[in-house]
Amino acid sequence: MKRLVTVKLQAHVAIVTIDYPPVNALSHVVRSGLEEAVAQTESDPLVKAVVLHCNGRTFIAGADVKEFGQPPVKPLLADVIKAIEGAGKPWIAAMHGNALGGGLEVALACHYRIATHDTKLGLPEVNLGLIPGAGGTVRLPRLIAMENALSLITSGKPVVAKAAAHSGLIDLSIDDDLLSAAIVFAQEKSRLPTPTPLLSRPVVQPLDKNAAADAITTLKKKSRGQQSPVVAAEVIINGAQLNAEQALAEERATFEKLRDGEQSKALRHLFFAERSASKVPETHGVATRKHDIIGVIGGGTMGAGIAASTLLSGRQVTLIEQSQLLLDKGLQSVQRILDESLKRRLIKPERHKKLLGMLMGCTDYSALSDADLVIEAVFEDMSVKQAVFQALEKAARPDTVLATNTSYLDVNDIAKTLQDPSRVVGLHFFSPAHIMKLVEVIRTDSAAPDVLATALSFAKSLGKTPVPTGVCDGFIGNRIMSAYRLACECMLEDGAQPCEIDGAMKSFGFPMGIFEMQDLAGLDIGWAARKRRAPTREPAERYVNIPDLICEQGRYGRKTGSGYYLYSDGKTATPDKWVEDLIVSESNRKGIKRTGLSENKIMETILFTMQSEGRNIIAEGIAQSGDAIDVVMVLGYGFPRWRGGPMFLDQNHPESLDQHDCS
């Protein structure tokens, strides 16, 4: 059996190499190998220093998440880290790729840290409902300023090596051959006394009482019910008042409590669900078609976002509009998004200039003759979209993948208009398309496997999470949203007001409620969909006229200054007496006796509706699994990630909305 951890001596420097693809996770075998490497290098008189290095594309990218639900097996990571930290010979962590979670905790145990310029370093445990459990909350604030340590741990966001060097997290950032540089560095440091271990150092720039309290208050507001960021801050702040051993004991106890808690189970569920939801049997082993040159039809908000996201992935984009005026507006919208990326330092000036040079615009479909993939993002009307696809069939190559960004329409009906319907697929982006991580990939009845594989690959290459879905009205997300939106509209008639329903959803953990969200998206979109479905609506189905009556007054949400709410400043939702009176009037007209609804009752109704519709979607084969539904609802509709998704709750907590607090 191949050894996952090896030791090789070179010029009195022991090179300890981890080779456990794909991410060199700290499994039991790797931990055991590291423990043996410490013993071997300590006992070898020829070894003067040690370089810890990883093969493959990354340094240690974290713990083995699959082991979290199993009984711990020695050696524990904390024990391995203590052994490295206590070594009499200096250890140098030579990092590339990602050094995350337990990987960074191992690096903190080393006496020195060097990294390639593009290495990302972080402690993302809060994203799994945890805190660092092998000394990260204790060692990090003894290496860098406590404020920086607090930010790194509670945000879960990594920093690149350049910023890490500036803060003192690493000793050297290089762009040369990492291993060679690490050996030279180790030889230099072997002549010096071994640095004081971090556990023996004082906290760097500790926060005063007021600053600590402010940090906790800010995190509580920002986390919207997720415990781990707040708990992490409390552990760091409390640990600064304790000696290192006491702080380590508190960290470990808190880690174990969180690990066994409901929020961490939910977040770990999402971690695996996001990785499994994109996989479909029919694309296994199927080669994708080329997708380097992309066409986008429509330069509105969605089309511009798709074009910008595609450009940022390094692809050439041709934007098509029906007139020069609309084309100019569309190109300007794309440029504004790229300008914002430059302003936020997400891209450098030279890259910004290069990306603008990769953007072309035209009013003639013939400009798409060399496109590999074309995405239609025009008005949500079947006849308009069918006309676009018929024009595309004439202009594009026969092997070009043709995708529609429709939110509700039947993609099979679009595909049927073409001589070769197998090249058609749905790519439903969510607005704003350059920011939102979700893409629903709609499988038509006739889509070729390599077309579906291409669509999935393209979405992933944009940094998105693609979720395959079958064809139905609204696919996965909008179908579920339509169902619980109707339930919420019925609750308006039964006794609630928009602010009460939205308030219950925000208390549950949503960033905004259903009515505020509709105001943001534009009420005219849903109105058009309702009018389209009116001829086929089941007569016995309960129908709520309130949203139609609001739209008939020209109140389409934020963009018109009023919808369910008033927006006097253009962005802040204020309850509107006109809407409240309208709702009461409709209840009276229908003879409905209004009764108050508690937050729990509101959320029970919403969750029951989500879960019932979700079960129907799975039974019909629209979604592959509950995992796929959870990913869609979390990434696309603001369902609180720390609750795991509606189907996770259905399986794990059908009896209660409550989550136990570990703090």
Please indicate, yes or no, if residue 103 is contained in any of the structural domains: yes
Residue 172: exposure state from Cβ atoms within 10 A (0-12, 13-18, ≥19): middle
SS (H, E, C) 75-95: CCHHHHHHHHHCCCCCEEEEE
Domain boundary among 429, 445, 469: 469
Please indicate, yes or no, if residue 604 is contained in any of the structural domains: yes
pLDDT tens for 190-235 read: 999 989 999 999 999 999 999 999 999 999 999 999 999 999 999 9
CATH label of the domain that carries residue 422: 3.40.50.720
Look at residue 658 in the predicted model and tell me its pLDDT. Answer: 43
> 465 and 500 share a domain?
no
> 286 and 323 share a domain?
yes
**How confident is residue 425, by pLDDT bands cut at 50, 70 and 90?**
very high
Domain boundary among 207, 228, 260: 260
Please indicate, yes or no, if residue 502 is contained in any of the structural domains: yes
> 311 and 451 share a domain?
yes
> 551 and 487 share a domain?
yes
> 494 and 387 share a domain?
no
For tokens 């934007």, name the residue: 319
What is the distance between the alpha carbons of residues 127 and 271, in angstroms, rounded to a whole number? Answer: 9
Please indicate, yes or no, if residue 633 is contained in any of the structural domains: no
Which residue pairs from 544-549 have beta carbons closer than 8 angstroms and sit at least 24 positions apart in sequence?
544/486, 544/489, 544/490, 544/492, 544/493, 544/586, 545/586, 546/489, 546/492, 546/493, 546/582, 546/583, 546/586, 547/489, 547/518, 547/523, 549/582, 549/586
**How confident is residue 654, by pLDDT bands cut at 50, 70 and 90?**
low
Look at residue 216 in the predicted model and tell me its pLDDT. Answer: 95
Considering its fold, how many domains does the chain have in total? 3
Please indicate, yes or no, if residue 156 is contained in any of the structural domains: yes
Active site residue ranges: 105, 125
> 434 and 577 share a domain?
no
Give this prediction's pTM: 0.90
> 34 and 73 share a domain?
yes
> 211 and 298 share a domain?
no
Beta-bridge partners for 17: 6, 53
> 162 and 216 share a domain?
yes
CATH label of the domain that carries residue 615: 1.10.1040.50
Look at residue 661 in the predicted model and tell me its pLDDT. Answer: 34
> 533 and 611 share a domain?
yes
Please indicate, yes or no, if residue 586 is contained in any of the structural domains: yes
> 240 and 356 share a domain?
no
The domain of 512 spans 477-621
Please indicate, yes or no, if residue 111 is contained in any of the structural domains: yes
Write down the mean pLDDT value for the chain: 94
What is the distance between the alpha carbons of residues 576 and 572, in angstroms, rounded to a whole number? Answer: 12
**Full strand arrangement of the beta sheet holding 159-160:** 98-100, 120-122, 159-160
> 158 and 187 share a domain?
yes
Q: Which helix or strand (DSSP H or E) is residue 272 part of? A: helix 262-276
pLDDT tens for 475-515 read: 999 999 999 999 999 999 999 999 999 999 999 999 999 99
Look at residue 175 in the predicted model and tell me its pLDDT. Answer: 87
CATH label of the domain that carries residue 195: 3.90.226.10
Please indicate, yes or no, if residue 105 is contained in any of the structural domains: yes
